């Protein structure tokens, strides 16, 4: 009988996933929970490969389907048990780890560790199916340390992101999303609104003129930003996000910024149900297609 792993205990995790076969069994449960369908011919009957019980061979066209094929585990360059340990660490630890740290801990190449972590961050990205509908705050921010050049919203070379939070009743964060943007224009800000904010939401922003064209479709209240009286929730989140990036990764390139934003928001949005985080992340790794390097920046 298959049992989902819902726990934060490292000891219990190691006991459950101490071999590659145990990891394959867990992946197989989610990959084929609705039955097997051959990706080549659509046939549904199969037999197991003799030397690998977690590979299915189509009875019609003889296509061999491994348990990691067509998932984000495709062509992982190290043992699956190490991959599971990295997933557990990225989902359960509050601040995660950098790729050099994980590379030393699990005795793998640093670039290999970074590539796999980037695939995990892709699994952490939002599918955009659950739009925010309550009381929301939106802000635009710079990511990274000080740089030379023009200051303020017109800065050309600084990394930029737009943030939206849905506030909880007691002043906390119910849900949050962050999106990398090229500039602070209405067209760029609209991407965040389209992907994550319902037309029924009540949105509060600062006085930036880029929000004005969005007023015709969303209910936006623009007020002057004052750190002492308003926008405290989103400003607190932004401070935590920036501290996390600078403290753990020190530097994040603009090309891969979205992945790091997705990672931070993924854990933040599920902090109330932390024991189920690992299981949820495995499901996403299985459901989403392989991601070569060129796709990780998109």
Q: Is a pLDDT exceeding 70 seen at residue 150?
A: no
Q: Are residues 180 and 215 in the same domain?
A: yes
Q: Specify if 235 maps to a domain.
A: yes
Q: Are residues 87 and 39 in the same domain?
A: yes
Q: Specify if 82 maps to a domain.
A: yes
Q: Are residues 18 and 49 in the same domain?
A: yes
Q: Specify if 41 maps to a domain.
A: yes
Q: Is a pLDDT exceeding 90 seen at residue 264?
A: yes
- Owning domain of residue 39: 11-124+273-295
Q: Are residues 161 and 120 in the same domain?
A: no
Q: Are residues 16 and 76 in the same domain?
A: yes
Q: Specify if 285 maps to a domain.
A: yes
Q: Specify if 130 maps to a domain.
A: no
Q: How confident is the model at residue 287 (pLDDT cuts 50, 70, 90)?
A: very high
CA angle 55, 58, 62 (to 5 degrees): 100
Q: How confident is the model at residue 244 (pLDDT cuts 50, 70, 90)?
A: very high
Q: Is a pLDDT exceeding 60 seen at residue 233?
A: yes
Q: Are residues 18 and 87 in the same domain?
A: yes
Q: Are residues 174 and 235 in the same domain?
A: yes
Exposed/middle/buried for residue 294 (C-beta within 10 Å: 0-12, 13-18, 19+): exposed
CATH of the domain at 183: 3.30.420.10
Q: Specify if 168 maps to a domain.
A: yes
Domain count, the chain: 2
Q: Is a pLDDT exceeding 90 seen at residue 285?
A: yes
**pLDDT score of 156:** 55
Q: Is a pLDDT exceeding 90 seen at residue 94?
A: no
Q: Is a pLDDT exceeding 60 seen at residue 112?
A: yes
Percent of the chain with pLDDT over 70: 95
User: Residue-wise over 117-139: b if at least 16 C-beta within 10 A, else e?
Assistant: bbbbbbbbbbeeeebbeebbbbb
Q: Are residues 228 and 280 in the same domain?
A: no
**pLDDT score of 292:** 86
| 0.75 surpassed by pTM | yes
Q: How confident is the model at residue 158 (pLDDT cuts 50, 70, 90)?
A: confident
Q: Specify if 4 maps to a domain.
A: no
Q: Are residues 162 and 236 in the same domain?
A: yes
Chain segment 189-203, per-residue pLDDT in tens = 999 999 999 999 999
Q: Specify if 247 maps to a domain.
A: yes
Chain segment 211-230, per-residue pLDDT in tens = 999 999 999 999 998 877 88
Q: Are residues 82 and 171 in the same domain?
A: no
Q: Is a pLDDT exceeding 80 seen at residue 148?
A: no
Q: Are residues 78 and 183 in the same domain?
A: no
Q: How confident is the model at residue 82 (pLDDT cuts 50, 70, 90)?
A: very high
Q: Are residues 278 and 244 in the same domain?
A: no
Q: What is the chain written as a DSSP string?
A: ---------HHHHHHHSSSHHHHHHHHHHHHSTT----TTT----EEEETTEEEEEEETTT--EE-TTTTSTTTT-SS-HHHHHHHHHHHHHSSS---HHHHHHHHT--HHHHHHHHHHHHHHHS--S-S-B-SEEEEEEEEESS--SS--GGG-SSSEEEEEEEEEPTTSSEEEEEEEEESSSSHHHHHHHHHHHB-TT-EEEE-S-GGGGGGGGTSEEEE----TTTS-HHHHHHHHHHHHHIIIIIS---GGGHHHHHHHHHHHHHTGGGGGGHHHHHHHHHHHSPP--GGGTT-
């Amino acid at each position: 009988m298959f049992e989902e792993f819902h726990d934060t205990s490292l000891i219990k995790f190691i006991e459950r996933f101490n071999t590659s076969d145990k990891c394959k069994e867990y992946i197989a449960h989610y990959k084929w929970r609705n039955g097997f369908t051959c990706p080549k011919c659509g046939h549904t009957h199969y037999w197991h490969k003799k030397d690998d019980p977690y590979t299915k061979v189509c009875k019609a066209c003889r296509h061999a389907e491994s348990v990691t094929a067509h998932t984000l585990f495709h062509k992982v360059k190290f043992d699956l048990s190490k991959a599971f340990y990295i997933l557990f660490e990225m989902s359960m630890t509050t601040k995660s780890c950098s790729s050099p740290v994980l590379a030393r801990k699990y005795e793998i190449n640093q670039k290999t560790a970074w590539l796999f972590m980037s695939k995990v961050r892709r699994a952490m990205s939002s599918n955009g199916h659950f739009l925010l509908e309550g009381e929301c705050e939106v802000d635009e921010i710079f990511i990274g340390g000080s740089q030379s050049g023009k200051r303020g919203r017109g800065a050309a070379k600084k990394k930029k992101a737009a943030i939206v939070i849905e506030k909880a009743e007691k002043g906390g964060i119910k849900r949050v999303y962050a999106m990398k943007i090229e500039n602070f224009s209405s067209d760029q800000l609209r991407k965040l609104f389209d992907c994550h904010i319902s037309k029924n939401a009540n949105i509060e922003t600062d006085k930036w003129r880029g929000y004005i064209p969005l007023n015709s479709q969303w209910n936006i209240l623009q007020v002057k930003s004052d750190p002492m009286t308003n926008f405290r929730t989103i400003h607190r989140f932004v401070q935590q996000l920036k501290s996390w990036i600078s403290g753990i990764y020190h530097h994040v390139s603009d090309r891969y910024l979205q992945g790091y934003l997705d990672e931070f928001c993924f854990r933040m949005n599920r902090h109330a149900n932390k024991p189920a985080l690992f299981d949820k992340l495995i499901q996403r790794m299985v459901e989403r297609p392989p991601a070569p390097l060129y796709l990780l920046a998109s």
